[in-house]
Amino acid sequence: MTAALPPALSQSLELGLGDGWAKALQQLRNLDLGGMGLMPQGGDPPQVGFAPGKLLQIQQDYVREASELWNQTLQANFSLKDKRFKGDAWARNPLASFSAAVYLLNARTLMALAEAAEGDAKTKARLRFAVEQWMAAAAPSNFLAFNPEAQRKAIETKGESLAKGVQNMLHDMRQGHVSMTDESLFEVGRNVATTEGAVVYENELFQLIEYKPLTAKVHERPFLMVPPCINKFYILDLQPENSMIRYAVSQGMRTFVVSWRNPDESLAAKTWDNYIEDGAIQAIRTVKDVTGAEQINALGFCVGGTILTTALAVLAARGEKPVASATLLTTLLDFTDTGILDVFIDEAFVRFREMQMGQRGLMAGKDMASTFSFLRPNDLVWNYVVGNYLKGETPPPFDLLYWNSDATNLPGPFYAWYLRHTYLQNDLIKPGAATVCGEKINLDLVDLPVYLYGSREDHIVPIGGAYASTQVLPGKKRFMMGSSGHIAGVINPPAAKKRSHWVRDDGKFPRKVADWIDGATETPGSWWTDWSDWLKSHAGKQVAAPKAYGHAPRYKALEPAPGRYVKAKA
C-alpha cells in the first residue's frame, strides 16, 4: 500500500510544475558557461531549447519518482547506491537519507534535462559538463549541516575533527591546492624517482638522465623516454616496484629519460618549435652521441608522444631517420576524439589564450591541475573536501597522488600553439597544414614500427583517440588496449598481477576502435611483457653494459638522478 503525496508537495510536482519547473529550465538555459571556463568572458550565450515532448516525459518521470520517494520516506526505506551516501551514518539518519535521495532525484532530472536540450553538439556537451559540475558541488555530503558522518565524528572527537579540518583547510589555502595525499611523506629522489642514474646533459629546457644498467649486457640500440612536459617525468619512476623506467633497465635497455624543466619567467617565451628542436630532437641527438649508435628506440607518453612524433616528422622532412622504433602511450595525434576536454576548446577560447599569452607568459601549473581534477570532480575534488575539512582526516600516503599534485607550468606560446594546431584545427594529421621548425609536417613520412597503447577508461586521451594513430602512421603497427585510466592503465607492472589487456595479432586495424575491440583477445595482467618483447625485437644484439655514465670527455655525469630540474616547484 502506498500513500498519496502531501497536497503541498503534490501541487509543486504536478504537470507543469508551476514556477519551480520554469525556474529550473531558466537556470539550465542561463548556466554561466563563461564563469565555468567553458567560453571566454563576454562571449555570446549559447542558445538552448527543449522539445516539448521530451520535457513532458521528464516531468512525468519526476512526479513518479518523487511519489516513490515519498513512500520510501514513510517506510524509512531508502536505497542509496551512490558511494557518497553508503556509510552507516546515512542509513541511520532518516533526514540525511531523505536529503540525499532528493538530491539524487534532482541530479537525475537535471541531467535528463541537459540530455533533452536542443542545440549544437558542442553546446550540449558543455551543458552536460556544467550540470555535472553544478550537481557535484551541490551534494549534501559536501556540507557539514547535511553530512551525518562528519557530524558523528565531530561528536565522537568532541570537536577535534572540526578543529583539524580547519587546520587542513588553512594548510591547503597556503599551498594553493587541495591535498590528495600526505605530501610531507614524499620527497623526490628519496622515496620517489629513486632509480639509480645520472644527468649527462642539460640545456635550458631539459636534463637528460642516463640510468645505471641492471644487467651485465644491454641491447646495442639505446632507449629514450620522452614524458609529457605538462607533468614531471617520475610518473614513470614512482617506486621500484612500479617503475616503468626500472623495468626497462631490467630488461637490458640502455635507458635515457628526458626530465623537462619546470618553466619560470625565463622560459615564458618558449614555443612549440623550441620544445621540438631544442627538446626532443636534441635529446635524440644526444643519446646517439653518448652511445655512438646510428639509431635509437624512443617512447613518448601523452603529450610527450605528440612531441616525439612531431620531432620525428621534422627529422623525416629533413631526410633523417635516427629512430628505429617508437612507442606511443596514451598519445593523441589525430585530435578528432578528445573526450571531455573538447568542451573547453573553440575559436574564441583559443584566440583568448593567444591574446593572453601567445607571445609571452606562463600557463600556471595549479590552474592546469585544477582543470584536470574537475574532469572527475567527485573523485578528485569533493572527496578530499569532505575528508580533509569536514572530517578532519589526513589523506593516506599515495605516490601517484603526490605526483599528481606536483604541478608544472607551461610557456604561454607553447600552450597557445598546441591549443590551436592540435585540439582546435587538428593540423598534425593534415599533410603540410602545420609548419614546425621550418618544416611542413607530414606524418606519412614517419614510416617506422610503432607500438601504440591506449587505456580503455581514459578520460584525457579516450581510447578512440589513442587508437586513431593506427590510421595516420604508415609503418608496421601493434596496438594494445589496457584497462583502467590514463595513468593507472599505463603504470601496471607485471608483478602486481592486476587488470587486463587486449591485443589482436591478425594485423588488421579497422577504422573504428569498436571494430578492433570486437576482434581482440583479453589477457589478464600487465601489458608490459608484451611491449618488452616487441621492443627487444627492435633493439639489436646485446653488448657489454657500459661501466660509466655518458661518454668522456664531452658527456659526463653532471649530478645524480633525478637531477635538480624535476625538483623545481611551479
Beta strand residue intervals within 108-205, DSSP E: 117-118, 197-202
- Return the residue matching grid coordinates 626500472: 246
The contacts of residue 193 (CB under 8 Å, 6+ apart) are 233, 234, 237, 238, 561, 562, 566
> What backbone phi and psi angles, to 5 degrees, belong to 500?
-140, 170
- Return the residue matching grid coordinates 610531507: 184
For residue 410, give the nearest of 349, 361, 363 by alpha carbon: 363
Q: What string of DSSP letters covers 542-565?
A: EEEPPSSSSBTTTB---EETT-SG
Label residues 412-445 b or e (16+ Cβ within 10 Å = b): bbbbbbbbbbbbbebbbbeeeebebbebebbbeb
Q: What is the 3-state secondary structure (H, E, C) of 97-129?
A: HHHHHHHHHHHHHHHHHHHHEECCHHHHHHHHH
Helix axes 160-175 and 148-156, enclosed angle (nearest 10): 120
Active-site position among 5, 302, 386, 429: 302
- Counting Cα atoms < 13 Å in the Cβ hemisphere of 507 gives 3
Which cell numbers hold the place of 300? Answer: 613518448
Instruction: Give yes or no for a contact between 530 and 503, defined as CB atoms under 8 angstroms apart.
Output: yes
- Counting Cα atoms < 13 Å in the Cβ hemisphere of 243 gives 23
- Counting Cα atoms < 13 Å in the Cβ hemisphere of 291 gives 28
Query: Cα 364 from chain centroid?
Result: 17
Distance, CA of 357 to CA of 354 (rounded, Å): 5
Active site residue 302: yes
Instruction: Give yes or no for a contact between 291 and 222, defined as CB atoms under 8 angstroms apart.
Output: yes
Distance, CA of 502 to CA of 521 (rounded, Å): 5
Cis? peptide before 449, omega within 30° of 0:
no
Distance, CA of 101 to CA of 83 (rounded, Å): 13
Torsion of CA 283, 289, 295, 299, to 10 degrees: -30
> What backbone phi and psi angles, to 5 degrees, belong to 453?
-125, 135
The contacts of residue 46 (CB under 8 Å, 6+ apart) are 33, 39, 119, 123, 126, 127
Length of the chain: 570
Query: Cα 293 from chain centroid?
Result: 34
The SS3 assignment for 179 reads coil
The SS3 assignment for 339 reads helix
Work out the number of other CB atoms within 10 angstroms of the CB of residue 347: 10
| Residues taking part in catalysis | 302
